[in-house]
Structure 1
Amino acid sequence: MTSSFLSLPTADRFVLANATLPAVAVDGFAAPAKEGLIAADIVVSGGRIEALLPAGTAPADLPSADLQRGMAWPCFVDMHTHLDKGHIWERRPNPTGDFMGALDAVRSDREANWSAADVRARMEFSLKTAYAHGTHLIRTHLDSLAPQHRISFEVFSEVRDAWKDRIALQAVALFPLDAITDEAFFKDLVEVIVAHKGLLGGVTQMWPDLDARLDLLFRTAADNGLDIDLHVDETQDKQVLTLKSIAEAKLRNGFEGAVTVGHCCSLARQDEDVAKATIDLVAEAKIAVVSLPMCNMYLQDRTPGRTPRYRGVTLFKELAAAGVATAVSSDNTRDPFYAYGDLDAVEVFREAVRILHLDHPLDEAARIVTRSPADILGRPDLGRIAVGQTADLVLFSARRWSEFLSRPQADRIVMRNGKGIDRRLPDYRDLDPIVKD
């Protein structure tokens, strides 16, 4: 283990004493809460959580690490990322910092550089980073225009198998839905998705025949037993309403699979009555929404020489209040869509709280990078702390929200199977052979 704020016992059975837990991420244990935080002793045995006990009541004869009220979280879930794009900024920056600049830069880099070896090297680097920060489950979108779909999905399957004991991985085929009418391409893409146990995705636009395209998407997903995860309304144009069309299409087609949508930026620009009608449809259709606050604030409302007026994020609170499953995620990392980021869920959480005003109160905020995304991704065994669960935990010296949100928590301890992992991050120099700057 790297240097941290406490040492873990080496015994097979031990206690994490005087821990502070986010109650929203705890199952089967209740205690008096303050700002949604509860105190507990965590008994770990054989790599699993044996018991959750009131703080100070664990057996005194067991080896113990006293957290001194420091927080213990379940490992994180990052449900919307782009592992295939990550870390290309140095060789393909986005000089304008806007959405069209990002599209152009990624397209040219993909055509020039995205061999299997290149994609694998950058994926591996990203996963090493996420693992060191404490993430247990990642869903990535993969650019899937031919011939890249076969290259990237093949690499993904190999990487998923190699990482299966450290990070669970899911993949979504990302392509512009104007390509869905290319029968040969779409048939081949679906075959690839099915073969690699992926999801059907895409980017929607306000085409005149959008409903027909969506019906084909939903029929194809139903016929092949696929879930759907779409990029939706990533724009500040209030006239863009594809989110509404997607909800209507799911209801119209009686689609029973899971549907997730990301971004939904234009929703925040629409008139209140228009936005409410869409939100009600999304709730009725049981569509989950993931907000990508860091990337959206970076790209949206960017004009040279002009200060942005809008934060670029969706109506997160209104969606959640309507009963829509909501979460936040990293999105892009050091690529033309977002020049920064480190696949660190703590950073994502901290910035989401600030950008989306998820504080006052903070009682349930921890759900957005733990149990909520785990549930959306169909993994209710992750993203929570419970007796019988594997002791996959992230321990912090921070005791209160003000402490947690004011620092990057660089001294955290990540536990997997009840043991601390080596948290050393990969060196950016490892990417030098492929960055070629």
Structure 2
Amino acid sequence: MSATSFFDMPRTARYALRWISLPECLAPAGLPPAMRGGRPIASMVQADMLIEDGRIAAIQPAGTLPAAMGPDLGQSMVLPGMPDVHAHLDKGHIWPRMPNPTGDAVGAAMATSEDRSARWTAEDVERRMEFGLMTAYAKGVVAIRTHLDSLAPQAAISFPVFETLRARWAGRIDLQVSSIAPLDLFLTDEGRQLADTVAHAQGQLGCMTRFRSLPNVPMPPEFDQAMGNLFRLAAERGLDVDLHVDESGDREARTLLRVAELARRDGFEGDILCGHCCSLSLQDDDVIEATLDACVQARVDIVTLPAVNLYLQSRQAGVTPRWRGVTLLHEMKARGLRVAIAGDNCRDPFYAYGDHDMLETFSQAVKILHLDHPLGDWIRAATATPAEIMGLPQAGRIAPGAPADLIVLRARDYSEMLSRFQSDRVVLRAGQAIDTTLPDYRMLDDLMAA
């Protein structure tokens, strides 16, 4: 356990965490509200939690379990381990050797392409991906879906690395994979080859809804052909679809609407997750309503990547940004769509910062997207909802019978949690505290050499 632990962790297989605070939306019904100074704490309940043989055995009103069974945590918050449904582990941590000179999306794509062509061997990708997994694990992340750059020859390098790491990290982080490539790929036989690679890895078939070799605005007729091919290839192999959609500030970028329409036209029955969807927030109300209607009808799920889109979008040298870069999460959730928050890039040309920390990602999302006043059940967008999208029914929630994969905070409520970085968190896996010491960046120094 990390030396920063703020309570004495029981070392038995059966113990209690007493007087804890839980998000009401993630806890069993019927628990009393958390109180302080005679006033209820918004959206929080208080409880005692019994942990036995690595699972949550019971959750009871606070003060009902004997003091001898475990520590009184003084209303410390307990969260479930957090999933990250949209990451790019293969890009991670190349910033020291390949920074983005402009900080915008064009500069990011060019820098990444140059680095990938010159440096992305199997060893390079594996070591950087594993560094990211070590970091995420120490932060309390329990599942990651990573996109892998998939233009040939990279797919043949990175997918076997992913499968090796998935086996190595089994039982610690559930790993999923999705392809990412320009939409052009699905106008060629390389699209079929990639679909076979994804199927072998039991992943999700994905791409950007942008062409590399064709104009994207107005939408060319080849769009329907390429997306139709992608849906057909996915359906034939029983794959779900995970797309990068409208990641720009172009008001005319409207592929989210067309993706949803084509999914219904083609009768695609798999799950569809659309990430980014930035330009929707710049469009007229009638386009927004038509897009949301189509997404509801096609059962499209949405993931927003707030830190990265805030960083990339509306960036111009010498100009103060006037747009947050994120999609219409409030409106989507109000329409019944499943909406998630995820981390995206980490220390690469698409985002110079980050530390694979979903708790910090949620904290930023609250402030960027105004998910507060009230906070309500927005914590679900970084816990239970992405777990549902990933098909992990026991992750991201706090319930009897669920694994005791938990994050214990010194913070007692959302205000404290969102105000101060929770560097002294205690991370439990199967009920036992893990070492939360972070890997040293020096581990990658030899990969950063010129």
Identical-residue share of aligned pairs (%): 50
Letter in 1 for 2:207: G
Per-residue deviation, 1:50: 0.8
Whether 2:196 is the aligned partner of 1:191: answer yes
Per-residue deviation, 1:369: 1.1
Over the residues paired in the alignment, what is the CA RMSD in angstroms? 1.1
- 2:92 aligned partner: 86
Distance 2:27 2:394 in 1: 12
- 1:270 aligned partner: 283
- Residue 232 of structure 1: which of 238, 245, 248 is its match? 245
- Residue 35 of structure 1: which of 39, 42, 47 is its match? 42
Distance 2:279 2:12 in 1: 53
Alignment partner of 1:35: what SS?
strand
The answer to whether the 8 A contact 2:404-2:429 is kept is yes
Letter in 1 for 2:248: T
Distance 2:148 2:29 in 1: 37
- 2:208 aligned partner: 203
- Residue 377 of structure 2: which of 343, 364, 368 is its match? 364
- Residue 62 of structure 2: which of 55, 75, 82 is its match? 55
Letter in 2 for 1:435: M
Per-residue deviation, 1:31: 3.2
- 2:161 aligned partner: 155
Alignment partner of 1:199: what SS?
coil
Deviations 1:176-206 (A, max 9, x none): 01111111x1222122111111110000133
The answer to whether the 8 A contact 1:37-1:363 is kept is no
The answer to whether the 8 A contact 2:186-2:227 is kept is no
- 1:13 aligned partner: 14
Deviations 1:150-170 (A, max 9, x none): 110000000000001100000
Per-residue deviation, 1:280: 1.4
- 2:130 aligned partner: 124
Matches within 5 A, 1:265-414: 265-414=278-427
Structure 2: segments with no counterpart, 5+ residues: 35-40, 211-218
Per-residue deviation, 1:298: 0.4
Structure 1: segments with no counterpart, 5+ residues: none
User: Which portions of structure 1, spanning 4 or more consecutive aligned residues, are displaced by more than 3 angstroms?
Assistant: 27-34
Letter in 2 for 1:57: T
Whether 2:428 is the aligned partner of 1:415: answer yes
- Residue 443 of structure 2: which of 407, 427, 430 is its match? 430
- 1:23 aligned partner: 24
Per-residue deviation, 1:103: 0.4
The answer to whether the 8 A contact 1:346-1:408 is kept is no
The answer to whether the 8 A contact 2:19-2:48 is kept is yes
Query: 165-174 vs 2-11, which deviates more?
Result: 2-11
Per-residue deviation, 1:401: 1.4
Give the TM-score normalised by the residue count of structure 1.
0.98
Deviations 1:112-153 (A, max 9, x none): 000000000000000000000000010000000001001100
Give the TM-score normalised by the residue count of structure 2.
0.95
Whether 2:95 is the aligned partner of 1:105: answer no
Distance 1:364 1:403 in 2: 17
Letter in 1 for 2:204: L
